[in-house]
Amino acid sequence: MSEDSYSSIIIIGGGVIGLSAAFYCAQAGIEVTLIEQSDLGSGTSAQTARVVRGYFPRRVADSELAVGSLAEYRGFAAETGVDPELEQTGFLVVLTRGEDVETLGRELDAQRAVGVEAELITAAQVCQRNPFLDPADIVAAVWSPQAFSCNPQAIMHGYAETAQRRGVRLLTGMEVIGVDAVRGRVATTNGDYVADAIVCAAGPWSGRVAAMTGVSLPVTPQPSELMTTGPIATDMTLPFTLHLSSALRVRRLGDALLIGLEGIPKGGDQRALWHRAVAEELTKRYARLRDVELHTAWTGSLDVAPQRTAFIGQGSGSHRRFLYAAGFSGRGLCQAPMAGQIIRDLCLGQQPAVDLKAFSPIRLDAEPHPAAKRLPT
Ligand SMILES: Cc1cc2nc3c(=O)[nH]c(=O)nc-3n(C[C@H](O)[C@H](O)[C@H](O)COP(=O)(O)OP(=O)(O)OC[C@H]3O[C@@H](n4cnc5c(N)ncnc54)[C@H](O)[C@@H]3O)c2cc1C
């Protein structure tokens, strides 16, 4: 092992991020042990809306990771023998305020420079793409064709099987209870493990895992919920549709619609209030759905980092052997392939393909973008 490259690693967490890192690191000849406290893919990665897309408004660095990841997903079946079941839906960002049209319009060149395909379209074109929308207060939209529904379980299965074929040890039902990144040692409920470096990919629980070795990684679990409608009569492939002003998201799932809204449906009265807010926002934006039934689709824990952009990198000084990829804040599936490749590059002592500044905890010292704090898109 040279000071800046690692020939063996322990990955903590068997979600889409840990499995992607295992897949790419094993491909590069690194000896990998992955430790998962429960079953593979049973954490946040089991709860997604099953959308992968390339465009993240107001977040060019996130788009860059996602666009690179989409390219990897396109080659996924050939690489792993498992079909990720990508079905193109496209992505519609509906704008109801003139200032958003200006801001997103100005940013399009920077988005295109990192590979995003996106264009501003008129209100009439918006309603052609999603006829359920109420045109009343729509000013314009950004349309990006680079969005797909997918099968996250198939993706994780493909990563896990291929990684295992490449020699990765996948240890499940084993909780990590202590981390000494200085010595490369991990204590679990089933004994200790040692490697050149340790990778924290523990999803929403990454803050707790990092704290075991004295590293501050402010990632926390946030309760989250998706709602579903009853059956909707249409044969159209509806785009994944986001209202920028409220962060209402709607996508088709089978013969129903899957709906998400920002906010934290904790429980009791708060959850009831959140349910009411979803119903109100939905009927405001989709007048044709006024009488539709709404049910809880599933609940989960969102992997939230401040400013809603993931932390990907490695510690400094005596914690250099502690690497992390966590806090994807609702876009881990979109960014998993590139996150795995970055971990591989750091383990090899090579420069990753993207600038990691936007993904460093150091960014927390900088002034947060006020809109970024308010609207995770
Ligand atoms: C409702 C909802 C919808 C979403 N929709 C989308 C979407 O459509 N597209 C998208 O890109 N993203 C979406 N996301 C976000 C996405 O789910 C996450 O960003 C992604 O799954 C994070 O993957 P991960 O591997 O980091 O975390 P996880 O899947 O949570 O994996 C972490 C693993 O670490 C394990 N672990 C934790 N602590 C320990 C320990 N001490 N010892 C051993 N193991 C441990 C956990 O058991 C877990 O399996 C959504 C999230 C939610 C909640």
Tokens of 84: 């990720």
Look at residues 205, 293, 284, 292 and name the one whose alpha carbon lies nearest to residue 248.
284
Q: Is 330 in the pocket of ligand 1 (CB under 6 A)?
A: yes
Sequence-separated (6 or more) residues with CB below 8 Å from residue 295: 227, 228, 229, 230
224 within ligand 1 shell (Cβ under 6 A): yes
- Does domain 91-145+221-304 fall into CATH 3.30.9.10? yes
State residue 265's pLDDT score: 64
142, with CB counted inside 10 A (0-12, 13-18, 19+), is buried
How crowded is residue 371: how many other Cβ atoms within 10 Å of its Cβ?
Answer: 13
Q: DSSP letters along 275-290, please?
A: HHHHHHHHHHH-GGGT
For residue 188 and ligand 1, the question of a CB distance below 6 A is answered with: no
Distance 247 CA to ligand 1 centre (A): 20
Return residue ranges of the chain for CATH 3.50.50.60. Answer: 8-67+152-217+306-374
Residues of CATH 3.30.9.10 domain(s) within the chain? Answer: 91-145+221-304
Which ligand 1 atom is nearest residue 326's CA? Answer: 26
Taking Cα atoms as reference points, which of 100, 107, 90, 110 lies closest to residue 141?
A: 100
Q: What is the CATH number of domain 8-67+152-217+306-374?
A: 3.50.50.60
d(CA 217, CA 208): 8
Per-residue pLDDT of the chain (377 residues; tens, 9 = 90+): 556 899 999 999 999 999 999 999 999 999 999 999 999 999 999 999 999 999 999 999 999 999 999 999 999 999 999 999 999 999 999 999 999 999 999 999 999 999 999 999 999 999 999 999 999 899 999 999 999 999 999 999 999 999 999 999 999 999 999 999 999 999 999 999 999 999 999 999 999 999 999 999 999 999 999 999 999 888 888 999 999 999 999 999 999 999 999 876 666 788 888 899 999 999 999 988 888 999 999 999 999 999 899 999 999 999 999 999 999 999 999 999 999 999 999 999 999 999 999 999 876 555 443 333 433 44
Residue 15: what pLDDT? 98
What integer pLDDT is reported at residue 368 of this predicted model? 44
Q: What CA–CA distance (Å, rounded) separates 219 from 326?
A: 7
